[in-house]
Amino acid sequence: MGFEHKSVLLNETIDGLHIKPDGIYVDGTLGGGGHSYEVCRRLGDKGSIVGIDQDAAAIEAAGIRLKDFGEKVTIVRSNYRDMKSRLHEIGIDKVDGIILDLGVSSYQLDTAERGFSYREDAPLDMRMDTRQKITARDIVNDYSEMDLYRVIRDYGEDKFAKNIAKHIVIERGKRPIETTGRLTEVIRGAIPMKYQKKSGHPAKRTFQAIRIELNRELEVLRDSLDDMIELLNPGGRLCIITFHSLEDRIVKSAFKKNENPCTCPSDFPVCVCGKVSKGSIVTRKPILPSEEEMKANSRSKSAKLRIFERGQ
């Protein structure tokens, strides 16, 4: 199957970027190239875009999708956390806009052997970058009960986290948990039946939690935001789409801190800390998908778009 990813909040993100025809843009989560394609369509002869992704399948698919734009497009296989150094390597110091879409692509979820999906039985993998050594199997079988509980509670926000962690430890004691199917069974056994009936797939939150932990998604986001704002030219914009309340919280607080970094006590008449605002938050409240989009693409339901503009 082809690498498909319905770009969530596509029009809102493209509008939010305020694309200049001769600008330089970065898509830090290239995926199948949906956002990049729309950026390219609005670029003039001097405009360009750099697409970054750590997933080989995404890079291949985006390369095909964007091939008609030729020289305007540069694709780099990397993690967006290394954006600054990767751009530097190709002679770019500043850009006019950056997009991050933190959703897992439909392709990754639907390609069973990648081990992201709880709906198909496959080896427990979940690596965004298949060059990475550690897989989901290692987390499930090697983490202590306490660490599993922490991961499922914090990243899955599952109220049965303690019980799920306990069940995983009991079951792996009998034999290692090697597949998504077996992990799903173990999780089902840990959640009371009456809850399973009314609140989505019982494994959804735990799978999400393991994926976030394995790929260090929140850490990468937290460590990259200041750098990305620094990379922007005056008036340049950073558009970030999150799908998880913890991601959204990280983005919201980083934007706030960059808008108002002053650390002086509130009763000081003037600022003496010398920390200067890097720009302003464009979206006081996050932009959410329309009813139509949520109907057409159920994966867009938890999406939120926040935009930051670099100061002049």
Cα–Cα dist 12/83, whole Å? 23
Q: Which pLDDT belongs to residue 106?
A: 64
160 pLDDT above the threshold of 80: yes
Catalogue all structural domains in the chain, each as residue range(s) with its CATH number: 10-107+217-310 (3.40.50.150), 133-214 (1.10.150.170)
Q: Which pLDDT belongs to residue 5?
A: 53
279 pLDDT above the threshold of 80: yes
- Cβ burial of 269 (10 Å; 0-12, 13-18, 19+) is exposed
70 pLDDT above the threshold of 50: yes
Cα–Cα dist 204/158, whole Å? 9
The per-residue pLDDT for range 26-57, each reduced to its tens digit, is: 999 998 899 999 999 999 999 999 999 998 88
Q: What is the β-pairing status of strands 48-53 and 24-27?
A: parallel
Q: Which pLDDT belongs to residue 1?
A: 40
Instruction: Please give the average per-residue pLDDT across 265-281, as a whole number.
Output: 92
Give the model's confidence band at 129: pLDDT under 50 very low, under 70 low, under 90 confident, else very high.
confident
Nearest CA to 36 among 101, 113, 82?
Answer: 101
**Degrees (nearest 5) of the Cα angle 68, 69, 73?**
130
Q: Which pLDDT belongs to residue 55?
A: 87
Give the model's confidence band at 312: pLDDT under 50 very low, under 70 low, under 90 confident, else very high.
confident
Instruction: Please give the average per-residue pLDDT across 163-185, as a whole number.
Output: 97
Pair of tokens at residue 180: 């998504």
Q: Which pLDDT belongs to residue 197?
A: 76
CB 191 within 8 A of CB 205: no
Instruction: Please give the average per-residue pLDDT across 65-92, as a whole number.
Output: 96
Q: CB-based contacts of 92: which residues, under 8 Å, 6+ apart? A: 24, 50
Instruction: Please give the average per-residue pLDDT across 103-125, as a whole number.
Output: 81
- Cα 132 to Cα 62, 125, 135, 215: the distances in Å are 21, 10, 8, 9
Q: Which pLDDT belongs to residue 19?
A: 97
Cα–Cα dist 2/8, whole Å? 18
Q: Which pLDDT belongs to residue 118?
A: 87
